[in-house]
Structure 1
Amino acid sequence: MKRHPGISSRRLGTAGRVVIMCLSLGPLLAHAQRAPGGGYDRPQGGGGPSVSIPLQWLFNRPEGGSEARPKPPDPRPKPDAESLLKYGPQFPVSLSAGSFTVEGFMQGGWPFVIDVAPRPDSCTWLALSAGEKTYPSIMLDADGRAGRHVIKVPLPDEIGPSPQPGQYAVYSVQRACTSAAGGDRQTARPFSPIAIYGIGGGPRAVGSVAVNNLQFGPSAPRFPQESASIGYSTIRDFGRGTEEILRFEVTAPDQVSVQLVGATPHDPLQKGTHSGSWDGKDGGGARVPGVYRLQVRVWDTLNDEKSWAGAISPDSVHIVKQ
């Protein structure tokens, strides 16, 4: 990933690679190329499979389909504080429609922020847990009528006065909310697909979302004569940050895989507007047909401040087979 002068960069190894997914991937599929199964690298020594996402998880489930579960199974062990400080917030290796889980630091009274687009006539909640403890669910959106918007809510005081590793599970179910409390106690309903463009926790994560205005394009650069432009803004200084290029591939009639193909870390990542370019090549120097999007993650490592955030570009870059 090439950078403009004055912005330092270096290649990030396999450690610490994670994915934020926008769960509404319909436009991507029209352009995705069939290719052998991919996946993204896990932290070194972590093992585990590639990301492979059945399409029926990403789009409308028929009425009476699988019921919403705010905490889908994850084969990985939960990251500890040291891992979160080193690699940043961890996002799921598999996703179900309407459900998105992040492992990151949390603290009682912290603000939580999400840039989200729920479906109309849906009910969207935030479920929280740390260790073996669970906390009251928070209603994020009652009916989905607002379309894409930024939501900010405080975390429950019961979480405690110090940052600790925990799990944020955002989930959306069919039909509007009937109550502002007890989301995890409502009658189970089928998932409602939801698009998440940005998410964060902690004082430094909010404003809008700490990383915003992601731009990635044009949609079809003439590689190698052209490059894809990268742009985004950060509203705070962060101790660590990374720019990541994600590839989406249709690997079977009912599956999409997501692979991290390149990353540029910044230690620190300063407040302001950032720009750069991408030559279309993956880590092996090849230009592989597919649909690509830009992701940016930021996090802090200080003892008393462990805010984190991440965002994904609404626009995508397409590489077609020559």
Structure 2
Amino acid sequence: MNEFHAGDRRWKRCLACLLAAMLAISPLAVAQYEVVRPTGSSGDDVDYDDGPSREPEGNGGSDWTVPAIVAGAAASALLIRWLRERRQAAQQPTADERDKLVTLQQQGPEFAPLYNTSAFAAMGMVQGNWPFVLDFVHDQPVIVTLRISARGVPDIYTLRFPFGAQETGHHRLQFLLPPAFGDSERPAAIAVTATDMSGERTAPSFRVLALGCGPRAVGSVAIEEVSFLPRLIRAQAREQASYRFFSHSDFPSAMADFMRVEPAEDGERHFFVDEQAIDGGVSAGRSIEPRQWDGRDAGQRISTGTHRLKIRAWAPTQGWLTVWSDSRVDVSP
């Protein structure tokens, strides 16, 4: 990737924003869903958010642009404003909408360069009857809320999953998007929030492992066995971290993002550090050859601290997937 495209990519990533929880909005018709729980426990109760729609106020914007912010609690007001602006937008595709579709098809799902893992959003392609997957772990009781908003779809699709004290651990949520999302792919904003059981505070123990939509993204999770090692490298000694993963699907395009992680009481922060294109994408039934990262950011400065790997993979008209490594690499000078 040349310098121009790398810079362009970073600017476009700012279109996606950290969002936060608990806004009462109307759901679509009842979803078809399947909850897959790797721990072996049986199905979850689904709580559909059935509060009244919030009417727009002011002269809301007509595009998807929202600023990236840090704190989960502070994002709530921004979420309300942003959704109100979206509801004011024209229902027919605009030039901006068509540009966003092309961008997501060519450059994959978008995330903010800074987000809270307990309250974050992505931009990605969706389509009616496409499978959707969210994979995560948590150490404390949580309420996980998923909201999907697409232009041309009048309501916000909302699912809420409570996990009590006896249900901590690893969970995978899988379901089909309703037909209301249309018979061709379209851009959507996807907000994931995890709060304590009161719904008032974001849950710091929540860690997302995978998020994806489309035929190639879901079966199980199409990319797994993500390795990011060793636990510590010394950048000035030219030590490097190595990463690899296995794919069950063909994705013609893929990108590795390196995120610096900082703990926080309302959910750990992820800061974008650098990215590497995975030339040629990934092939079904194969692991990529081990690749290296030198512990430096896009400006070749040493990025000290703890880091997590994020893999984004996509196939136009067939969906996209983002996976995060559970392992972490500490970078020291």
Give the structure-2-normalised TM-score: 0.66
- Give the structure 2 partner of residue 290 of structure 1: 305
Q: Which has the higher contact order (CA 8 A, sep 6+)?
A: 1
Partner SS, residue 13 of structure 1:
helix
Q: What residue identity is the alignment partner of 1:106?
A: V
Deviation at 1:311, TM superposition (A): 1.1
1: distance between equivalents of 2:171 and 2:268?
Answer: 29
Deviation at 1:122, TM superposition (A): 2.1
Deviation at 1:259, TM superposition (A): 2.6
Equivalent positions of 1:87-236 (< 5 A) are 87-93=107-113, 95=115, 98-131=118-151, 133-143=154-164, 145-175=167-197, 189-193=200-204, 194-223=206-235, 224=237, 226-236=239-249
Deviation at 1:21, TM superposition (A): 11
Deviation at 1:205, TM superposition (A): 0.3
Q: Deviations over 1:184-243 (max 9, x none)?
A: xxxx64333421111100111013322222111111124435321111111101121112
Partner SS, residue 261 of structure 1:
strand
Q: In 2 relative to 1, CA 72–202 (structure 1 residues): closer, same or farther, beyond 3 Å? A: farther
Q: What residue identity is the alignment partner of 1:138?
A: L
Q: In 2 relative to 1, CA 235–68 (structure 1 residues): closer, same or farther, beyond 3 Å? A: same
Matched, 1:260 2:282: no
State, as a whole percentage, how many aligned pairs show the same letter.
24
Deviation at 1:131, TM superposition (A): 1.1
Q: What residue identity is the alignment partner of 1:89?
A: P
CA contact (8 A) 1:200 1:210 kept: no
Deviating beyond 4 angstroms after TM superposition, the runs of 4 or more aligned structure 1 residues are 9-12, 17-23, 46-49, 65-70, 72-75, 254-257
Deviation at 1:106, TM superposition (A): 0.8
2: distance between equivalents of 1:280 and 1:295?
Answer: 15
Partner SS, residue 315 of structure 1:
strand
CA contact (8 A) 1:103 1:168 kept: yes
1: distance between equivalents of 2:75 and 2:109?
Answer: 27
Gaps of 5+ in 2: 20-63, 86-95
Deviation at 1:80, TM superposition (A): 1.7
Gaps of 5+ in 1: 1-8, 24-45, 58-64, 177-187
Count, aligned residues? 265
Matched, 1:270 2:290: no
Deviation at 1:22, TM superposition (A): 12
1: distance between equivalents of 2:312 and 2:7?
Answer: 15
1: distance between equivalents of 2:300 and 2:74?
Answer: 41
RMSD between superposed Cα atoms in Å? 3.9
Q: What residue identity is the alignment partner of 1:282?
A: D
Give the structure-1-normalised TM-score: 0.68
Deviation at 1:299, TM superposition (A): 0.8
Partner SS, residue 232 of structure 2:
coil
Q: What residue identity is the alignment partner of 2:287?
A: T
Q: In 2 relative to 1, CA 315–255 (structure 1 residues): closer, same or farther, beyond 3 Å? A: closer
Q: What residue identity is the alignment partner of 1:139?
A: R
CA contact (8 A) 1:242 1:297 kept: yes
Deviation at 1:137, TM superposition (A): 1.7
2: distance between equivalents of 1:280 and 1:216?
Answer: 12
2: distance between equivalents of 1:15 and 1:109?
Answer: 33
